[in-house]
Structure 1
């Protein structure tokens, strides 16, 4: 399923799924048996999806045509939002641009920080450049949404905890970030103002068609995370700014996959909850800082950014 949150013609916020020509309002099609919001659907998604299958609601005609609704962030209110640094190429490029080296710990465990789960934007939303910021940047990522509660989850048993996937643009104020990261505490205000996700959540079962296995020899350094050959999703990823392609990559080049990230996040009895989001980190060359803004200048008001990931769609935002 390709799940969305949208604004109806009468300005009601509803959850549903995409059809060829519009959206189905899950609450309306079910006579109130399905919820109005995405977080409630995720909380009890196994029961709700059984209802959908039993009643063949997924095959229903669109409640609203596409042109009559506005898509919002598919999960406007995640319970938490962890963002990882999962691609070695991005680490190498960004570290070089910042004049840093990669700490050995990065090769020993997936590293994450908590980003602002209250600053969620969706497809078509305007992103305000922070005041006095001179090096506004984007980051091309895929994100997974957790579907059930769990703690101390081992990577080999983590796939059932993934509800679905979406595109994630980790908007970044590089000038702010460069200064504040002189203090070894990780990102702060440079990552605090905007997290864009969308246009939909593709449920995990639909993404399994892209599953592949990558050998350790495909990476610049040995994989030290003890899970052998690495399961990935073979998904092309692309960034366009004002219609010009800036970056092309593939999620299968990730050093750490989401199952490994789930293991790390849930260690020491920490509960992952339905509606938590995990970001993959930026695909190699998926941010402008990686070549010191030589491929494209820092973003300015009026710039239109499109992130596209195979199997999910296109997430578009405009800088203001």
Structure 2
């Protein structure tokens, strides 16, 4: 089943996409509501039989669901190699990367749909994309094993973790972050594909073998297989649930794929900014086998309002 959230003449509506038709859920029904009640598949079957249908093409796409949390992992070794290639002495992938799947929390309020413009964030001169796939949690849990975690994944969608690299690199020198380098936009879409549809794509090592590709202005700049992840999604979910709850609607990104899944990886390997950073007018298109295609256009952003540097304070304690 392929589930979408759109804006049409009646407002924001969710439904099931079959071929080029959207079979709409009843007005007011959200994907997150259905996940929390455990009735997504039943609602999908009911929507198709009720036949409240409109053409899917031309509708404004929103993120498939209103995610309460978004965790983004860094699960592709090749991506990490490229990102550290430009560091002094090229230290290579940190041994700690191999020990456990690392993630950070990003901004759920910044999720956008395919087709929406992305303003250059204030103060950014090195705008980048990140080609990822995200798993969506369908049922809650805690301290899950990888085997248990598989049953908690309801489906998958494409995730573009837009990145202001100059802001990100500066703020991470404080050993905390990323923050403003990441929280301005993340594209999710075009649809949520339920996990059962992608099960035939599993390889002998139990990874989802899906082709991923990204184009800038119609020119392909990156390509990889999702199965090149260091851990499958089940292990990412299990790790996220260690000592913590995962809940319906939570989104877990794979992290950027290798093979040019972002510009900064290429910059690190080549030692030059080629391809160049994104700017107004650039169109970024991502396609993942079995899920679909998302497209966003970069537009001019706002001039940043100045923030004064920190003052140097005395160490008086009285």
Give your verdict on TM over 0.5. Answer: yes
1:37 and 2:30 matched: yes
Q: 1:236 to 1:110 in 2, by over 3 A?
A: same
Alignment root-mean-square deviation, CA: 1.7
1:3 and 1:15 in contact (8 A); partners too: yes
- Runs of 4 or more, structure 1, over 4 Å off, are 59-62
In the TM superposition, residue 22 of structure 1 has moved relative to its aligned partner by 2.3
In the TM superposition, residue 67 of structure 1 has moved relative to its aligned partner by 4.0
Q: Which residue of 1 aligns with 2:238?
A: 263
1:184 and 2:175 matched: yes
Query: 1:39 and 1:314 mapped to 2: Cα distance?
Result: 22
Q: Which residue of 1 aligns with 2:254?
A: 280
Structure ID, larger Rg: 2
In the TM superposition, residue 148 of structure 1 has moved relative to its aligned partner by 0.5
Q: Which residue of 1 aligns with 2:120?
A: 129
Q: Cα deviations across residues 219-241 of structure 1 (Å, max 9, x unaligned)?
A: xxxxxxxxxxxx21000000001
Q: Which runs of 5+ in 2 are unaligned?
A: 300-318
Q: 1:52 to 1:19 in 2, by over 3 A?
A: closer
Counterparts of residues 50-199 of structure 1 (less than 5 Å): 50=42, 52-53=44-45, 55=46, 57-58=47-48, 61=51, 63-67=53-57, 69-75=59-65, 77-99=66-88, 101=91, 102-199=93-190
Query: 2:275 and 2:124 mapped to 1: Cα distance?
Result: 16
1:24 and 2:23 matched: yes
Query: 1:177 and 1:319 mapped to 2: Cα distance?
Result: 18
TM-score (structure 1 length as normaliser)? 0.87
TM-score (structure 2 length as normaliser)? 0.87
SS in 1 for 2:16: strand
Q: Cα deviations across residues 27-85 of structure 1 (Å, max 9, x unaligned)?
A: 16xxxxxx62111011123x3423544x5x4366561113452221111x211000000
1:129 and 1:136 in contact (8 A); partners too: yes
1:97 and 1:289 in contact (8 A); partners too: no
Q: Cα deviations across residues 84-111 of structure 1 (Å, max 9, x unaligned)?
A: 0000000111111344633221100000
Q: Which runs of 5+ in 1 are unaligned?
A: 29-34, 215-230
